[in-house]
């Protein structure tokens, strides 16, 4: 089934007041179907996170925060003991949906802290419930602002370029709003620029083909899908002025871990004289890590490569190497675009300076 692409679909949208509902795009059905899941109970939110219907660190945090609001709807305002018992239940339950998602715990902790602080100051259950919804909305709004600020700084830095290439999905689907790398393109479009983006399909899980291509099409940005191995060719053809990707973790010296294939792009960009940018929020920096050498590379299941499309495409028993990430050394990065500004050149000193800035 082909869905109609419209620009006004938000990946996460809460409707109503404390008795409201949460709509999520089911990302597992993209790009073939655009289906909204309406969450009326916490179990549906939990399942959406667990089954990757909502994915991307910021988006998971936001969905979980709204999930707390929805989870509290099963208890009334008149039974305080039941309310506090339920709050622990709901937050523990949601925390188990993706046990390695840092943003999930961060958002749940923030929700609990707000409720506990108000309890200590004697606020009514009714008002605490309102405060929880406000907190979830604040988490949502802050992420939206971060995305918009990344987009603004990136669009200023790249105002001279119209032809881009990106990898994986660093878009709105993973966040509240504009995403990180894609925020730069969305903002350039908002500025009236006619741009074109080459989208790496991003093997093995095809986030570029499935999600980034979909997001760009939805916003009517001209985009061309390529296989990862074609990126060098389009660079050689002079059709790329800048490359922008997201990052999963950035060391104190600026070395950046991102989806496998990013390092390849950065090396190819240098060979073709094309600037390579990372776009990521300040929360991506792990200042406890001195350099990329300390970032462990997660290896994923061989089946993602050998059976990635529901069909066996390699001999049974073949040895497979499937690193989920690679690390791009700072010296290959022209700039790191954050919500506070662009770090360029990427040096330990300038990273520290931006991290300390407000």
Burial class (CB in 10 A: 0-12, 13-18, 19+), 239: middle
CB of 132 to a second copy, least distance (A): 37
Is 203 annotated in some ligand binding site? no
Cα–Cα distance between 61 and 15 in angstroms, integer?
18
119 belongs to an annotated ligand binding site? no
Report d(CA 197, CA 201) in Å as an integer: 12
Instruction: Compare residues 91 and 306 and give the one whose CB is closer to a second copy.
Output: 306
Nearest to 308 by CA among 197, 210, 165, 240: 210
Q: Which of 248, 286, 293, 326 is catalytic?
A: 248
Residue (186 or 263) nearer to a second copy, CB: 263
Residues in the chain: 358
Per CB under 8 A, residues contacting a second copy are 2, 5, 31-32, 198, 200-204, 206, 209-210, 213-214, 217, 222-234, 236, 260-261, 263-264, 267-268, 270-271, 305-306, 308-323, 326
Q: Whose CA is closest to 164, among 211, 218, 208, 210?
A: 208
Is 200 part of the annotated catalytic residue set? no
Of residues 288 and 309, the one with the C-beta less far from a second copy: 309
Q: Minimum distance between the CB of residue 238 and a second copy, rounded to whole angstroms?
A: 14
358 is an annotated ligand-binding site residue: no
Ligand-binding annotation for 169, yes or no, is no
Cβ distance to a second copy smaller for residue 201 or 339? 201
Concatenated DSSP letters of 244-258: EE--SEEETT--EEE
Q: Is 258 annotated as a binding residue?
A: yes
What are the residues facing 245 on neighbouring strands?
A: 278
Smallest separation, CB 236 to a second copy (Å)? 7
CA 315/CA 8 separation, integer angstroms: 45
Give every CB contact of residue 328 below 8 A, 6+ residues apart in sequence: 255, 256, 257, 258, 262, 263, 266, 276, 278, 292
| Residue 239 annotated in ligand binding | no
* Closer residue to a second copy (CB): 126 or 233: 233
Residue positions forming the annotated binding site for substrate: 55-57, 98, 207, 258-259
Residue positions forming the annotated binding site: 55-57, 98, 207, 258-259
Q: Name the residues annotated as catalytic.
A: 248
């Amino acid at each position: 089934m082909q869905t109609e692409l419209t620009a006004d679909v938000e990946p996460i949208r809460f409707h109503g007041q404390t008795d409201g509902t949460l709509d999520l795009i089911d990302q597992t059905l993209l790009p073939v179907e655009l289906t909204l899941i309406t969450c009326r109970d916490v179990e549906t939110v939990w399942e959406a996170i667990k089954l990757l219907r909502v994915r991307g660190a910021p988006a998971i945090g936001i969905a979980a925060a709204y999930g707390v609001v929805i989870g509290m709807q099963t208890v009334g305002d008149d039974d305080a003991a039941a309310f506090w018992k339920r709050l622990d239940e709901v937050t523990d339950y949601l925390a188990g949906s993706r046990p390695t998602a840092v943003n999930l715990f961060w958002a749940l902790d923030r929700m609990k802290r707000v409720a506990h602080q108000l309890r200590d100051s004697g606020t009514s259950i009714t008002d605490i419930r309102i405060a929880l919804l406000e907190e979830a909305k604040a988490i949502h709004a802050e992420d939206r602002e971060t995305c918009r600020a990344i987009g603004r700084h990136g669009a200023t830095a790249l105002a001279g370029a119209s032809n881009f290439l990106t990898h994986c999905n660093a878009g709105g689907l993973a966040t509240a709003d504009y995403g990180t790398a894609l925020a730069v393109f969305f903002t350039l479009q908002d500025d009236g620029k006619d741009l074109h983006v080459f989208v790496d399909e991003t093997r093995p899980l095809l986030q570029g083909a499935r999600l980034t291509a979909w997001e760009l099409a939805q916003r009517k940005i001209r985009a061309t899908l390529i296989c990862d191995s074609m990126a060098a060719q389009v660079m050689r053809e002079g059709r790329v002025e800048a490359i922008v990707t997201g990052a999963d973790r950035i060391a104190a010296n600026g070395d950046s871990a991102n989806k496998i294939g990013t390092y390849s792009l950065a090396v190819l960009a240098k060979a073709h004289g094309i600037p390579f940018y990372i776009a990521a929020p300040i929360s991506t920096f792990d200042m406890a890590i001195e350099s990329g050498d300390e970032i462990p590379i997660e290896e994923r299941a061989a089946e993602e490569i050998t059976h990635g499309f529901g069909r066996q495409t390699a001999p049974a028993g073949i040895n497979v190497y499937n690193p989920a990430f690679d690390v791009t050394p700072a010296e290959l990065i022209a700039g790191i675009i954050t919500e506070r500004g662009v770090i360029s050149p990427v040096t330990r000193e300038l990273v520290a300076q931006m991290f300390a800035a407000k």
